[in-house]
A and B are shown apart, each in its own frame.
Chain A
Amino acid sequence: MAELTLKSRRFREEREGEWRKLEELLARAEKTSSALSDDDIIALPVLYREALSSLSVARAISLDQSLIAYLESLCTRGYFFVYGTRATLLERIQAFFRKDWPQAARDLWRETLISVALTALGIAIAFALTSSDTSWFYSFVGQGMAQGREPTATTADLRATLFGGPEQGFLAVFATFLFTHNAQIAILAFALGFAFCVPAAFLVFYNGLTLGAFISLFVSHGLGIEFGGWISIHGTTELFAVALAGAAGFRLGWTLAFPGAQSRVEAMSEAGKKAAIIMTGVVCMLGVAGMLEGIGRQLVTDTLTRYAIGIAAIVLWCVYLYLPREHEP
Chain B
Amino acid sequence: MSTAEAPVGRPPPPGTPPERVRELITPEGIDLKLRLADMSERATAFFIDIAIMVGILVGGTLIVFLFALGLGRRSVEVIAIIWLLGSFFLRNFYFMAFELTPRAATPGKRALGLRVTTRNGGPLGFDAIFARNAMRELELFLPLSFLSVYGREAGGWGWFAGLIWCAVFVFFPLFNRDRLRVGDFIAGTWVIRAPKRSLELDLASPEQKDNFLFTRDEVDAYGIKELSVLEEVLRRKDPPTMEAVASRIRNKLKRGRAFGESDQQFLEAYYRALRARLETRMLFGHRRRDKFDKT
Q: Which residues of A contact B (CB under 8 A)?
A: 1-3, 5-9, 12, 16, 19-20, 23, 27, 29-33, 49, 52-53, 55-56, 59-70, 72-77, 79-81, 83-85, 89, 92, 96, 100, 169-170, 172-173, 176-177, 179-180, 183-184, 187-188, 190-192, 194-195, 252, 265-266, 268-277, 279-280
**Interchain CB contact under 8 A, B200 and A70:** yes
Given contacts A6-B204, A61-B283, A269-B187, contact A188 B137 (CB under 8 A): yes
Q: In the assembled complex, which residues on chain A have CB atoms less than 8 Å from the CB atom of B10? A: 59, 63, 65, 68
Q: Give A8 Cβ to nearest chain B Cβ, in Å.
A: 6
Q: Give A250 Cβ to nearest chain B Cβ, in Å.
A: 13
**Interchain CB contact under 8 A, A52 and B85:** no
**Segment at the A interface, from B40-48, B63-71, B121-129, B251-259:** B121-129
The complex places the Cα of A307 from the Cα of B27 at a distance, in Å, of: 57
The complex places the Cα of A12 from the Cα of B167 at a distance, in Å, of: 50
Which residue on chain A has the smallest CB distance to residue B118? A269
Given contacts A272-B131, A273-B187, contact A29 B102 (CB under 8 A): yes
The complex places the Cα of A30 from the Cα of B24 at a distance, in Å, of: 21
**Interchain CB contact under 8 A, A69 and B13:** yes
Can you add 20 more A-B contacts, CB < 8 Å, to A72-B33, A77-B194? A19-B199, A60-B1, A63-B278, A67-B199, A67-B202, A69-B197, A70-B199, A73-B196, A83-B121, A96-B126, A170-B77, A176-B80, A177-B84, A183-B88, A188-B138, A190-B134, A265-B185, A265-B188, A276-B131, A277-B130
**Interchain CB contact under 8 A, A276 and B187:** yes
**Interchain CB contact under 8 A, A64 and B203:** yes
**Interchain CB contact under 8 A, B26 and A180:** no
Q: Give B152 Cβ to nearest chain A Cβ, in Å.
A: 16
The complex places the Cα of A195 from the Cα of B81 at a distance, in Å, of: 34
Instruction: Kindly state whether residue B103 has any CB partner on chain A within 8 Å.
Output: yes
Give the top 10 A-B pairs by smallest Cβ distance, nearest first: A269-B188, A272-B186, A276-B131, A2-B276, A191-B138, A276-B130, A180-B88, A273-B127, A272-B131, A85-B123
Q: Give A266 Cβ to nearest chain B Cβ, in Å.
A: 8
The complex places the Cα of A270 from the Cα of B199 at a distance, in Å, of: 39
Q: Which of B121-150 contact A (CB under 8 A)?
A: 121-128, 130-132, 134-135, 137-138, 142
Q: In the assembled complex, which residues on chain B have CB atoms less than 8 Å from the CB atom of A29? A: 102
Q: Which of B24-41 contact A (CB under 8 A)?
A: 24, 26-28, 30, 32-34
**Interchain CB contact under 8 A, A62 and B85:** no
Q: Give A293 Cβ to nearest chain B Cβ, in Å.
A: 15
The complex places the Cα of A295 from the Cα of B253 at a distance, in Å, of: 86
**Interchain CB contact under 8 A, B197 and A73:** yes
Q: In the assembled complex, which residues on chain B have CB atoms less than 8 Å from the CB atom of A180? A: 84-85, 87-88
Q: Which of A53, A184, A272 gathers most chain B CB within 10 Å? A: A272
Given contacts A1-B210, A83-B27, A173-B77, contact A63 B200 (CB under 8 A): no
Q: Which of B100, B103, B188 gathers most chain A CB within 10 Å? A: B188
Q: In the assembled complex, which residues on chain A have CB atoms less than 8 Å from the CB atom of B195? A: 73
**Interchain CB contact under 8 A, A20 and B199:** yes
**Interchain CB contact under 8 A, B283 and A194:** no
**Interchain CB contact under 8 A, A187 and B134:** yes
The complex places the Cα of A68 from the Cα of B131 at a distance, in Å, of: 35
Q: In the assembled complex, which residues on chain A have CB atoms less than 8 Å from the CB atom of B272? A: 2-3, 6
Instruction: Kindly state whether residue B235 has any CB partner on chain A within 8 Å.
Output: yes
